[in-house]
Every structure is written in structure tokens, then in C-alpha cells.
A and B are shown apart, each in its own frame.
Chain A
């Protein structure tokens, strides 16, 4: 037995105090003295001679006292919130309402919520916690919360565009409650057998509500970009993949737009079943939003659209030192992506002997007067950089035999380019038309475009931004540098699971932890109060 509001000692003391007070009130019983008069006409005389009631008399009606004590105690114990003891303090019972993206279908979420509320109402005495599995699992109501509060809080919830976190939630609860066993009543999407298999040992998962599978579903599962295979640094290739019911239903139409401007998919190459490749998409000066929409009328709409943030073409700041060929300065001024600055540039273009050069830029393009220096030497800081420059030369056709400057690719701690001044002057004198492209692409190579995230899927780390937060839900995500990235669902497991039924059976009831008793005591008190009143009005009780 336990009490909700007071401690046991307090309840005992209160009970004794009530009994004592009621005992004392018994002595308040008025005494009536009989005055005999000769005739009823002498009632005035009798009234005047009648003594006042006294406040004290000896205790005469123990049964009346007992009845009042019972009534008072019933009310007092109800006030104290008497309840039966919890079956076991070694168990913790949790109701978990899944608010993930899978619950956005039709009335899945509202039905799950209704079932949860019904279960709560059917177990009024249960010490139950209610959790909501949204973007992060959150405690909606603790053990002492009433159904009214729980219901009010649940009514304001809606499913969110995030992945279900029930497995991770179970794991965390297991760690936090290592000495207890945890029973989770789950209200949500159909769970797979593998999710049950990965549960910690002290966690038991009971699926109290299973959302029904949808009849069919098509969804976008992959949407990402990468630097164009053509080698043009101002272009990217994009891949789009969809998946869905392949038996019976036709593939829905796709539409794409870039910053709201639609464009045709006719140029997209179909590289596999339901997979398209958009090649050489041009980048602009500002980040672009590439959106794809699947025109499908299935019930699950969260995977019917996706948005990709394309990077902006950054401007490269260039510092040109003294003595640098004038044509180079002109080239910097004429090239849209390049901006001439006086200091703190990304690339410093100088003569190799210029000692001030190294402080002016993060990377360096140097003209060497050394006669031993032939052609162009690229110092690459990684294998990828070496490959990039070799492939650039190969794609541009600047192979050594075509009398362009000789190419050497070496390793270095930092990227740099060393161009023989003699070779440069020879090309310039011949007005070699390849020279401007060679210079510009070398500058581009020195400042590779900082990779934004090639794709952003909910629940997956961003591929190139290792210190960024994990995307938890669909929408715009603010990165530490205040840039925005669009996060999309892009989850094949979710898309495929929409049409799959659950593998578990639903047990008949959850475990009740304890019974509340005080309402019965109130009913008892009511009955006794009524009985007492009846006795009082009939004069059976003083």
C-alpha cells in the first residue's frame, strides 16, 4: 500500500487526529433536561426554567462516533491518494508514440494516438510515462501525469519528417536503467524483425498499434550531385533514383526545377531502371535549389519530393605580384570567377623570387626564371589532386607532345604551380591559344571548390562535412558557416517498408503497475454520509 500525496506517517497521524477530534465532538452532544409542567399552557415557564445545553457530557454514542470516524477516515485516505504498491520498482513502463515520417500517412498517427489514449484510460492507476518519438525522443508526461494532461499534450503533436528512433531510444533507456527492465508499449509503424533482434536484453517491446501497410508506394531514394565527369569545374552531374512497386503500377512522372524554373528531363540519361543522370548542369554564382517531384498519388507523400542544394561557384581571389607578366593580370581581370585583390588572396601569382609572395596567398602560382626549370610543375597535396591535374591535361588535350609546356606532377604539402618563365614567354610569343585556358585552369586547380554536401539524407552524416550536425529531419539545415543545406528523406528502407505489414502480433494488454483505491473510498464515504443522514433525520443518531 502506498500514498500518492502524503507519507505514511503523515497519514497515520492525520487519521489519529481526526479520530480524536471526532471523539471530542461527541462530547458536544446537547443534554436535554425534562421539565414537567402542569399544563401545556405553562410552556413559557418551562422555557424560562429550562437550563442551557451543556457542552460536555459523557460519551454515550460509540456507534455514532465510529460511523463518523469511518467517514472521516475514508475521506482522509482518499485525500492522501491511497493506492496499491507498484508491482515492482524494478520495472519501468513506457508508452511510445512514434512520430516519424512513416506516420504521416493518412490517419496513422491520429489512430495511434487514439489507441494510446484509450490504453491510458483503461489503466488509470498505471505509473506510466508517455514518450513521443519525433525528431528526438521526448518525454511528454511522467508517471504522475493525469490522463487529461497527457491527452492535452498529445493533441498538439504531429508526426515529423524524421526516421523512427525506437531502436536507439530503447538502447539509451537500457543504459539509463541498467538495474531495471523496461517495457515499451509501441504505437507506430510496422517494425521489422531485425529491429526486435537488436533490442537490449533488459528491454521488452510490445507493439500495441500497427499502422496498416499502404497499398502501393513510389518514392525518391537517391538524389545527389558530383563534379561533372566532363571535368568542367563549373558543372555538376546529378543522379536521381526512384523505387516503388514494380508489379502492376506504372512509373510515375518526374518533374525537376532549379530555383523554381522547371526544365525538361529529356536530356537526362537513363542509366538504370528508374535511375537518371543529368550531366553537366551549370552552377551559378549563388547556391541553387534543385528540386525533383514524383507525381504519384500514393498515400505516402514524404518521399515524393526531394531538394538538393547545389554549391555556388566561388569567386577566387587572386593577388598578382610585381614582375608578373601583364597578360596574367589582364586574364585575372577578364575571367568572371577570378577577382584581383591586394592582399590575403586565395592564390598569389608571383615570380618565384618574390619573397613577399608567400604571405599574400594560401596557394601560389609562381613564374620561375630558373633555366633548369622546364615547363610546368604541379605540386599536389593528395593523390586526388594529382589525378585531377593529369586528367585535366588529358581532357584538354595538352599532352606533352603537342609542344605545350612540359608537365610534371610532384607531391607537396600544399598545392602550388611552378611555371617556367621561358616556356610561358615562348607560348605567349607564339600566341598559343591554349595558354589562357592553361593558366585559368591551373588557378582553378589551386583552389578546388569546397565541397558542399553531395547529398543530404535524413539520419545520415553529410558525406564531406565531417563536423556538421547529423541531419535529423527533412527541411533546411543551417550549417556552422550559416550556409543552408536542403535535407531530403532519401531512405529506401522507409519507402519500401510502407507497403510491408508488421511481423509481430499485438498482445492483448499492457501490464498494469498498481491500482488506485481512493475513488472507492470516496464512494464509500458517499454511501456512509447518506446513511448517516438518513439516521440523523430519523433521530437514530444524535
Chain B
């Protein structure tokens, strides 16, 4: 407690000038008059110094916020005013009262200062009104705020208001006014989707009357959907068609249908965001296959090939899934397979499809990729005997008469017996001319062929050259795996350019072997040369004891064929209706894999999937663009179905997760990436110019970035985050997180209730007669003393006049 003078220098005037003057001038006057006059002067000078008495005093304040903007304002205004006046009247005079009224008819109060704000102030955010009410509370006063409202704030963001209430130690009480439930759109959620996929909107509504019908209309540039809502469930999921652009502004309206009338009850504008189409890297497909798949799946997936990238690894890194179709060991190097496997382990998806090549003959069974597949690639080998076409050229010239011809026939018979019914054989005999004693034919009736051989007789001259030519022309068109010409002669042949002929024949994959019958060994070298030129073998059969069995078959081992052809009906995990398949590879799935499609009759697995590391691998045992799925090309939903399968293996986790909070004048964006990266960029779309403007981001924690974007409530914010050269989109619709004025969800009351509780206030009703007391606190106050001094001076002046003029009996010595 202290007294302070605002202008202390006036004391000089008192001390140095006036008082001495008064005393000296009044030395002959009555002492009382001088004293009174001095006191008067002193009082005036002290008042001039403006003394202020600073002292501590209890100070309390109560601020009322009257939200007459609520729907019930007109009906309850009288009750509110009466309650308010009653509460104010019950407060002691030491408690200051201030009232803030929002909208409505002006209240009439018995006491207190009232401030009126227009209807709809702060966009209906009660938190902001509370913050403004806090400004009414001086720093030195202990106060609380009582809010008369239905509690339906257009936003539930109370963070700043709660912080200020706590900081100032102000309790927020809430006297709840009745609220009328109004039908409204309480929640609109666009499910995550990519370009090319279906856009789905979940609509939740509130307070829908059973007595009416309710309809939701969604309208956008490429969308126009209407759906009736069941008022009891008040929730619908709407398919808005296929997304084709990242941002799709939509207008959602809620209509109440009453007979012929439809009344719009609420409307909201939102932005549906679609992420870029999945990038599928066709690691081993040519342009034709890529184009065919792209046409099939449409915009939902972007199919890329190796040629579009600088390297194979770049193609893997730039995509979310990899497609291998009819892969073989020869197509993909070990390095490439290792890279694919490592990428899948890290989270990329792999779609492995194909037929025989992919699952059997391609040699992938022992490849690095095999262990990543949900199926067991076949390693069963089978021995095969490729087909043979044999043209036997028998010398039936005169020199062969007797034993040589018999030996020749025997050789021919033995050779024929070694053939399979699917093989082909023909016999050309030459005896000055040539003729087909047995034309090229399957060995279905070997006995007939042997009979034909037996009928041969020796005659004429030896002309082998044209016979070989004849045999060659006969064999040339035969599609056998191995083709042979077997020349049986005694080597008495004409001089011709056999070397040229036989080399020519050998180039056509037709081998020529020779058999020298008889005992004339002088021609061995010649016959051996013939065999050598024809890339065949030379045999010498002098007599029946040197007979050899000539077997032209070359047994081979190859993976057992797995591809089944036919018409196969399938059953899926999701019971979808799928047309029959023309063929598939019969393969066993691994024990841990999930069967997505199986053949109905044999229960063979047609499509299997499993998790491999962080990624997903799906194997389809047919070629999605090949003969096996020929019937599916007419299936109208094939592209969508295939796109869905490919999408499901794709890396589902976006590398960046964006969230945003809208405050009244800016949007706070938070981005979370999987790891610390300096390659994150954020940009905002300028709706007017269509240009992207880069926004600075701040890294607040490992992989957590924030950005603040100035935007009014009515301005939508569209964002693009770029990570590793890939774009991801997000949007904050206008008024996102805010309700329309007078269309506020009843759930908003819960948020207010929590704030009241956290601030230490009470939740009341108009039936509450007594508000929680405000504890008065000591605060520094002032009392101006100059008015008292001036009043005292006035009294002194009157006293001096009276004293000077009061009649007495004494004679004034100066008077006559």
C-alpha cells in the first residue's frame, strides 16, 4: 500500500512560493484566517500533485457468453435473460460482470457491461468466442466464464482456447441450452483409391426423421450419384465411379423428400483424392505384351517395361509391383532375379504368371526366384523319345544281287522295327532310276513296310545321287524332331559331288548315315566320307553276323509338361463368377500359401498367393494375355478383375502419410515418411493457375515433417508430396473439420464437455440456481485522492469565508 504522486514537482510551488506568501501577507490578520487560507492552498497544491493511493484489493469478475445464435434462441430468450439477471443479481457488488452476446435480440441487463457481437461471428466457433471473452478479463482479476449455449460449435478444435483457459486459471462453465437436432451430414469419408480404381464415399448422416425419405446426391465433374438413405442406419457407401484425376471436387447434398417436395437440408463440398495408378514393372515382357496388358487393365495400373528406364534396377525401384510372365532362366539373369527377390522382401509385390515355360520348361525351378513363389516349380523330368523321320535309300542295282541285297533288306527291316508308330519312314530304291517303294508314312503298319522291303529285287545301274535327292525332298517337309537318310549300298556308286549334296542336306538338320553291305572293303573310305559329310554314321555289315540294329531315336530328359488344356471351371476365394479357363499349369502350391483360385473338378491350384518378407507374391498358373485366358478376353470384368489382383500385390504402404488440420486462417500439414529422407518435397496446387507451388517443410523428428499453409476457411488446399520421384496427393477440403452454421453434429457437445471438465468448470442447466463461486483474488488497485483533496479545499474555502464574516462583538481595529 503506498501513495504515489503523479506530479510531485508541484510541491516546490507549495513550499517555496505560496505558503510563505500567505503567511507574510496575513501577518496582521486573524491567525485562524491565515491558517485556513494556508490549508486551502495546501489542499489545492496536493490535488495538483495528483496523489494516487495504490493498494491491494480483492478483485473478481464473471464473464457471461450468451449464444443467442442457437436454434432455440427465439423461444428461450426470455428464460435465458431471466436466468442471467438472476445470476447477476446474486453476485456481490465487488464482482465485476461482463456479458458478451452473440446475435439475437439485445438483452436487457440490470447490471454489467454488455458487448454485442454479430450473429455468425468467428464462423460459429465457440472456442474463439471463449478466447475473445478471455480478453475481457484483466490480468489482475480472478474470473470465470459461463457460457450459455447449446454447445454446438462449428469446430471441435479447442486446443488453443483450453490452453489459454489453463494459463489464466479461468474456469469455463457451461449452462446448456436445449438443442434441436437438425438433420445433417455428420461424416464424409472418401476411401483410399488410386487413379483407375473405384472411388468410394462413405456418408454418415444424423438426426434423420423416420417420417420422411432421405436422399444423398453427390455431384462432381464426372460424378453424379444419388442414393436413398435408411434413416435408421443413416449411413451409406456410394460408388462414385472410376477416379481419373488426383483431385475430384464433389458437392454432397442431403435432401429430405416429403411427398413431392424435396428440401435440401445440408450440403458439403469435399475433395476426393486419388493416388497415382500403381506402377507395374513388366520385367521380362516385350512391347506387345506390355501394350496388351495395359489395354486390359486400363488406367488403374501403369505398365512399364525395361526400355523405359535406364536400368533394370531403376525399373524395380520406380514401381510398386513387378510382373513376370512366362519367365525363363535364359531371359532373366541371376543378378536380375536376385534383385527382384530382394525388392519383394523389401515390400514390392510380384505377380508371376505364365504357362509351361514359367512353371516347368523355363528352368526356373532352381533359380533364385523359385523360393519366393507360393508354388513349387516342377523338377520332374521325363524321358522322351523325340519323333523320327527315316528315309531308307536302298541300292537295288544289279551289283547288289544276292547276299548284299539280302543284307540291305535285313538292315532296313531292323531299322523299321526300331521306329515308333508316330515315327515316319519311307524307302527309296535306286536301280538306275529311283522310286519310292514305300512313300514317307507313319510306321503304323510295319509289316506292310517289311513286305515292301521284301519285294525288292536287284536290277539296273547304281545312281545314288538322285536317290539321295529324292529322299531329301521327301524328308524336308516332315516335322519330325530327328530326320535321317540311311543309305544302304555296296558302294558301287557313280561319281558325283556328294560332298556338296550331303553338306547341303545336313544343313537342313537331316543327317545321312551310310551302311556298306558286302565284303568289299575298298569302298569303305568312300562310304565313311559320305557319312561324315552327312553328319551321320558309317556302318559296315559284311555278313549277317555283323548285323547292327540301327536306332535313330535319341531319348532326352525334359521337365514333365504341366500345362493342361481344355475348358476348366474355376472357383475363387471370393466366390466371384469367372469364365472357364482354356489352360493352366498344374502345379502344387506351397503349404503356407493361400489359394485364391482353384479348378473345380481336380481342385488344382490356379492362383496362389503368400507373403514373402515385406512383400506379397501371387502366382497365376496361366498367361493372362495368352491362349489360356482366351475366353476371358470376352469377359467384360476381366480387366477390372486382373487389375484388382495386381493391385493387391502392389506395395500397399505409401512412402508418405499426410494429415492436415484446418485452423481458421491456416492449414497445418504433417507428413510422415518411413525413414529420414532429404528427397521429400511438398507443393500446393494453385486452383486459379493450375500450377504447383513448392512449400517449405520442416523436419521436426526423424521422418516427421510439418508445413503451415495460409488458407481461409473457404479455401480448399490441395497438396502433392514427392518422395523418390513418386507423387502422392492429399487435400484439405474447404471447412474441413468444421460444420456449417446451424448444421452442427450433436457430438460437438462432447468436445465442449471435455474442455469444461479440463478447465475445472461445471456443466449446468438453466435449472441451476447457483453458479460455482468465483474466488476473489488480491490485485493492485488505485484510488485517486485528488477529488477528496479538492472537496476538502472547497470546504476549507467555505469555512474561511464563514470564519472571516461571522459576526462577533469585537471591533475591527482597522474599521472606523
Contact = CB atoms under 8 A, between A and B. Distances in A.
Nearest to B795: A75
Interface string B601-621: 000000000111111000000
A16 interface: no
Contact of B41 (A54, A198, A241, A529): A529
23 contacts: A32-B811, A75-B44, A132-B139, A136-B168, A139-B135, A146-B784, A149-B780, A226-B704, A229-B703, A374-B591, A394-B347, A394-B613, A399-B612, A401-B372, A407-B592, A467-B158, A470-B162, A473-B167, A492-B698, A526-B48, A529-B40, A533-B37, A536-B33
B796 to A, nearest CB: 10
A75 B797 contact: yes
Question: What is the interface residue range for chain B against chain A?
Answer: 35 or more
A81 interface: yes
Contacts of B29: 536-537
Contacts of B610: 400, 406-408
Nearest to B816: A34
Nearest to A224: B701
Interface string A141-182: 010011111001100000000000000010011011010000
Given A152-B4, A222-B699, A406-B592, 11 more contacts: A50-B809, A136-B164, A137-B135, A138-B137, A139-B136, A172-B131, A175-B132, A238-B701, A238-B702, A470-B163, A526-B44
A225 B25 contact: no
B754 A277 contact: no
B593 interface: yes
Contacts of B685: none
Contacts of B784: 146
Interface string A223-238: 0111001000000011
Nearest to A173: B135
B223 interface: no
A468 B815 contact: no
Nearest to B790: A79
Interface stretch (B117-125, B500-508, B515-523): B117-125
Interface of B: 4, 6-7, 18, 21-22, 25-26, 28-29, 33, 37, 40-41, 44-45, 47-48, 50, 52, 54, 115, 117-118, 121-122, 128, 131-132, 134-140, 158-160, 162-164, 166-168, 192, 345-347, 371-372, 590-594, 610-615, 652-653, 657, 661, 665, 668, 670, 674-676, 678, 698-704, 706, 751, 754, 758, 780-782, 784, 787, 790-791, 793-794, 797-798, 801-802, 804-809, 811-812, 814-816
A282 interface: no
A468 B661 CA distance: 14
Contacts of B6: 124, 146-148
Interface in A365-387: 374-375, 383-384, 386-387
Tell me which of A29, A391, A522 has the highest count of chain B C-beta atoms within 10 A of its own C-beta: A522
B816 to A, nearest CB: 7
A52 B809 CA distance: 6
A25 B657 contact: no
A498 interface: no
Contact of B700 (A222, A229, A405, A533): A222
Contacts of B791: 79
A172 B131 CA distance: 8
B592 A239 contact: no
B10 to A, nearest CB: 9
Interface residues of A, number: 108
B790 A522 contact: yes
Given A271-B676, A529-B44, A533-B26, A463 B699 contact: no
Given A146-B784, A399-B612, A492-B698, A408 B54 contact: no
Nearest to B121: A175
A467 B675 contact: no
A388 to B, nearest CB: 9
Given A519-B48, A522-B44, A148 B26 contact: no
Interface in A77-126: 78-79, 81, 124
A542 B131 contact: no
Given A75-B793, A529-B37, A407 B611 contact: yes
Contacts of B802: 25, 28
Contact of B807 (A52, A146, A399): A52
A281 to B, nearest CB: 11
Contacts of B140: 140, 153
A62 to B, nearest CB: 15
B48 A394 contact: no
Contacts of B700: 222, 224, 239, 454-455, 457, 463, 490
Given A28-B805, A526-B18, A454 B704 contact: yes
A175 B118 CA distance: 9
Interface string A510-542: 000000000100110110011001101101001
Nearest to A272: B678
Contacts of B54: 148-149, 152
Nearest to B29: A537
Contact of A225 (B699, B702, B794): B702
**4 closest A-B pairs by CB:** A224-B701, A406-B592, A53-B807, A138-B139
Given A47-B811, A172-B135, A387-B653, A239 B614 contact: no
Contact of A400 (B48, B134, B611): B611
Contacts of A490: 700
A18 B797 CA distance: 11
Given A139-B139, A387-B653, A455 B701 contact: yes
A32 B814 CA distance: 11
B611 A72 contact: no
Given A75-B790, A149-B781, A472-B164, A224 B704 contact: yes
A76 interface: yes
A86 B163 CA distance: 37
Given A72-B794, A145-B782, A400-B592, A393 B614 contact: yes
A351 interface: no
A239 B797 contact: no
B754, B801, B811: which has the most chain A beta carbons within 10 Å? B801
A72 B809 CA distance: 29
B26 A277 contact: no
Nearest to A491: B698
A534 B25 contact: yes
Contacts of B37: 529, 533
Contact of A401 (B122, B128, B612, B797): B612
Contacts of A32: 811-812, 815-816
A331 interface: no
Contact of A406 (B18, B158, B591, B807): B591
